[in-house]
Structure 1
């Protein structure tokens, strides 16, 4: 299956800030993703990862800076125009109550259709192929709201695939998935012609599937580069407050992170084991 017929988008996040209720959640973030690249955003809880992704796909409007898609200001695009370029796999799905999985996946075709236009044979073929690709064909006619978390995640990935995006933005795409589907979904995302922007918690998955990483801490980019450049013991101690050993993966040669227990004093690199 070749789910994307559009060209991969070049993404540029320029000095993006976001604040609400007197709190600043993003501070002048710069990020780029070249066409066809898979870029990961990592960092501890509350670091601004999801806020940044929402600014990229348009759920939030930055309070400063701008997001460019192929050099065009995304903030000036209409909802439908932006949806033709960017597909999103969110952590939760609204507007799906009572719909079957097949109907939820078919929603991904709506940016390419007039509001009165019905689905045709080509749409049905794309939906069926996407369902098969993510391993969701067996529950295509079940109600989406009755699915397990992992089944929902696979359906949302399928919906994004049929959208034919140039940029695929995924917020924790492996959340709720067992190991097999974690690997299959990320392998699929990496193989797509679309540009990929992924928020991930699992640093070893990020190292294996991303070309470059951006590390956020308290709404700021504190490191960026290849996984080998970014995932160091020093940085993980600084940002996450944990002791690690980082060495080459025996198969890929990329960085592999092993987490160590507290030292003899019950601390993680000088911080108490109870927290930061």
Structure 2
């Protein structure tokens, strides 16, 4: 069974700013773990260390016990698929089909062409994320939400063991937010994703890790982590947290700041 683990991971910028400190977490096959926290808490930096665009200053990222950063690039790419936060790829003059088909490249030698089986995987992935009708469109011409779905399709055709997603619901309307997160959960992969929407995290994640100031300040099942006290201390907001009768998941309702009443 595939297990992704970060072990005492820290990251400090070349300018000396520590963005992550002593992060230890694990994600097993079939499990979805959500990273939540305010802007600047370290979520994206942690994901970049996991999918190896950043190298941790200290600590390691382990995949089934092997150091991920010591793996050959192609071997790593066969096992980990990423859906990055930034989908601004105006310089990529490729069709949607060509972008999605890039997910098959780790499975071929550089001189090998895509096969009929690859083409079938691409068509099926495009259909699963609801953009089969956009297959021939130039990727830069898509809306932000359409690009996001195309990158999820690229991850699907990669057939990875681990899927890492940074704000996968950005730019998506509510229908596709629900469909994309449902699809990710159905893959059976080890899923690590950063989310801003705490209600989506509560419903779709098996466990939640709360980051603040580059540290994990809470970790566990959503019902244990998402409390009124934690939301006040980490996010600085007042909120009510209850269990939704239909879903059984915690539901967060944010309360506006109390305004002082003035009398004349």
Q: TM-score, normalised by structure 1?
A: 0.92
Q: Distance in 2 between matches of 1:216 and 1:130?
A: 32
- Aligned equivalent of 1:219: 214
User: Among 39, 44, 48, which residue is 2:33 paired with?
Assistant: 39
The answer for unaligned runs of 5 or more in structure 1 is 1-7, 267-276
- Aligned equivalent of 2:3: 10
Deviation of 1:252 (Å): 1.4
Summarize the alignment of residues 77-92 of structure 1 with structure 2, pairs less than 5 Å apart: 77-92=71-86
Q: TM-score, normalised by structure 2?
A: 0.96
Q: Distance in 1 between matches of 2:47 and 2:192?
A: 8
- Aligned equivalent of 1:254: 249
Are 1:24 and 2:18 matched, yes or no?
Answer: yes
Deviation of 1:9 (Å): 2.5
Q: Distance in 2 between matches of 1:212 and 1:198?
A: 11
User: Among 69, 83, 86, which residue is 2:63 paired with?
Assistant: 69
1:28 is paired with a residue whose SS is strand
Q: How many residues align?
A: 259
1:206 is paired with a residue whose SS is helix
RMSD after superposition: 1.2
Deviates more, 1:93-102 or 1:57-66: 93-102
2:168–2:195 contact (8 Å) kept in structure 1: yes
Are 1:122 and 2:149 matched, yes or no?
Answer: no
- Aligned equivalent of 1:158: 153
2:90–2:140 contact (8 Å) kept in structure 1: no
Deviations 1:40-76 (A, max 9, x none): 0000000000000000011110010000001111011
User: Among 53, 58, 75, which residue is 2:52 paired with?
Assistant: 58
1:172–1:198 contact (8 Å) kept in structure 2: yes
Deviates more, 1:236-245 or 1:33-42: 33-42
1:183 is paired with a residue whose SS is helix
Deviation of 1:231 (Å): 0.2
1:169–1:198 contact (8 Å) kept in structure 2: yes
Q: Distance in 2 between matches of 1:64 and 1:92?
A: 26
Q: Distance in 2 between matches of 1:95 and 1:29?
A: 34
